[in-house]
Copies of this chain bind each other. A is one copy, B any other.
Amino acid sequence: MFLETVRSEGLAHLSYLIGDKGKMVVIDPRFDCEIYVDIAYRHNSRITHIFETHCNEDYVIGSTRLAKRTGANIYHGRHTSFKYGDSVSEGDTFELGNILLSILETPGHTYESISIVLADKNFSKEPVAVFTGDTLFIGNTGRIDFFPDQIENCAVLLYDSIFKKLLPLGDHVILYPAHGGGSICGINIASREFSTLGYERKYNPILQMNRDEFIKHKAHEHHYKPPYFSSMWKHNLEGAPSLKNLQEPAPINIDKFAMAINNGMIVLDVRSLEAFASAYIPGSIAIPLEIIPIFAGWFLPYDKPIGLVIDQYEQAEKAARYLIRLGYDNICGYLEHGMYEWGASGHTCDKIPAVYTGEILRRLNMKNTFTLLDVRCKEEFEKGHLPNAINIYVGELPDYLDKIPKDQLITCFCTTGKRAIIAASILKRNGFQKVEDWLGSITACAALGYPVVSR
C-alpha cells in the first residue's frame, strides 16, 4: 500500500494518491494532472477512482481531464449539483487491494464536503488515516464564508463535522488535509504537514474552544475573497472547462509585444522585485513568480491576452502552469530577449525604486513626509505594525485608491517586499508617480528594533 502527496506550491494545495495491488485512487487532482499518471505508471498501477472532497473555489480541479486520460470514475459529495461524476453518501465504501475507503459527509466549508476514511484491511477495518479536504487543516479549520447569509449555519455544520464525525475516529488516525500552510482557504495553517486527529484535538487552537466559542469565532473570522473564486466555482461545478492544455509559452518579438500592449494586452512581469528597481515596462502588473498562485486571481482578467516578462526561460513554463491552475489560458507568450532588449531597442522603461530599512529609519527620524503603505492582510497588521502606516490589503488595493495621497512619495511594504511590488505596480498603473518598494519591509524593521505597535 503506498501513499504519495502531490504539492502545488503557492496554492499550498495537497492532493493524494493511494494505491495497492495495481489500482490507485487520486484525491483532489489539480488541473495539470500528468503527474498523477506518471506516478501511477512508475508504480505499475491504474488510476481507477478520483475523489473530490468538495467543489473547490481556489483552483481548477483536474478530475475530468484525469478521468478522460485514465478512464477512472469521479466521485464527490451529493449536496451540490455537479454536471459530471457520481455522488457518494455517508457510509459508501470502496475497496482496492487492501485499501478500504469509506465516506463521511463533513459539511461546513461547503455543503457537499466529504472526508474519506482509509483503513488497511491487512490489519483492521478500523481507520488509520482520513482525508479531510478543507474541513480540518493542521492547526486550523476550513473557512466558512462562501455563503455569506448562512455563515452561522455553516459554523454549526463544521463544528459537528469535526467533533461528531472526525475526532471520534480516534486520536491515532493520521490527518491528510487538502491544504498546507500559506493557503488562502484557511488562516494560520501550520507549516508542518503531518499530524493526527489526536494531536489536533489536543493542540489545534480552534479545537480548544467550546461549541459556542467555536461557532462565534468561525462566524466572525475575516477572509479575503479574490474575484476569480467565482470562476473557479463555476469551472468546478461544470467539470469540463474548455481550457487549452498547458503549453510552454513562445517568445514574442519586441515589436509585436509593443503592438499587443497597444491593443490591450496585459503585461504580467514575474521577475524578482529587485528587477523593478532597474527597469520595467510601464503599465505592467508585477507578480513575483512564486506568488502568482495566490495573487494572480486578484488582478488578471480572463478575457484579455496576457504577455509575460521573465528573466529566465524556465519562468515562462512555470508561470503558465501556475496560471492554468487558476483557469487562465489566455497567455499569448513572453517578451523575447527580456528587458535587456526592450531597453536596448529604445522603448520606454519605468522603474520602481527599492529602498532599504536604514533609509526608512533615517526619514522617520527626520520626520520627512511620505506615506507608509502596509499591504499585508488585516490580521498581520493587527498583530504588529508601524505607528504611522496605513493598511490596505494588496488584493483590495484597486478599490481603495482614493485613500492614498496622490502627490506624496508612497513606500509600499509587506513582510519581505513581494506583495509590496505588486501594490507598487498597481499604484503606478493608476497614475501614482512616486512609488517605491521597501526591501525587507516589516521584517527588517523588527530586526532593527524599531517600535512596532499592535491593535
Contact = CB atoms under 8 A, between A and B. Distances in A.
Interface of A: 1-3, 22, 37-38, 41-42, 44-46, 69-71, 120, 122-124, 126, 128-129, 139, 170-174, 190-199, 201-204, 247-248, 250-251, 253, 271-279, 311-313, 336-337, 339-340, 343-346, 348-349, 351, 354, 356-358, 416-417, 439-441, 443-444, 447-448
Contacts of A172: 171-172, 196-199, 201-202
Nearest 8 A-B pairs (CB), nearest first? A172-B198, A274-B278, A343-B440, A278-B354, A277-B278, A344-B440, A344-B444, A277-B277
Contacts of A357: 343-344, 346
20 contacts: A3-B194, A44-B337, A46-B251, A122-B139, A123-B203, A126-B202, A171-B196, A172-B197, A172-B198, A172-B199, A272-B272, A274-B275, A277-B277, A279-B356, A312-B312, A340-B439, A343-B440, A344-B443, A346-B357, A351-B354
B346 A448 contact: yes
Given A3-B193, A171-B172, A203-B123, A250 B344 contact: no
Contacts of A203: 123-124, 126
Contacts of A311: 272, 274
Contact of A190 (B120, B173, B196): B120
A447 B417 CA distance: 34
A36 to B, nearest CB: 12
Contacts of A3: 192-194
Given A440-B344, A444-B346, A194 B171 contact: no
Contacts of A248: 37-38, 41
Contact of A120 (B129, B192, B251): B192
Given A279-B356, A339-B439, 9 more contacts: A126-B202, A126-B203, A170-B171, A172-B199, A173-B196, A274-B277, A275-B275, A343-B444, A349-B358
Nearest to A188: B122
A336 B41 CA distance: 10
Contacts of A439: 278-279, 339-340, 343, 349
A444 B345 contact: yes
Contacts of A313: 41-42, 44
Nearest to A343: B440
A274 to B, nearest CB: 3
A171 B190 contact: no
Contact of A196 (B71, B196, B204, B250): B196
Contacts of A192: 1-3, 120, 122, 128
Contacts of A348: 358
B42 A337 contact: no
Contacts of A124: 202-203
A59 B443 CA distance: 43
A447 B345 contact: yes
B174 A194 contact: yes
A18 to B, nearest CB: 10
A47 to B, nearest CB: 9
A12 to B, nearest CB: 13
Nearest to A416: B340
A416 B22 contact: no
A166 to B, nearest CB: 13
Given A203-B123, A440-B340, A1 B46 contact: no
A289 to B, nearest CB: 11
B22 A337 contact: yes
Contacts of A123: 139, 190, 199, 203-204
A122 B356 contact: no
Nearest to A354: B278
A271 to B, nearest CB: 8
A199 B130 CA distance: 13
Contacts of A444: 343-346
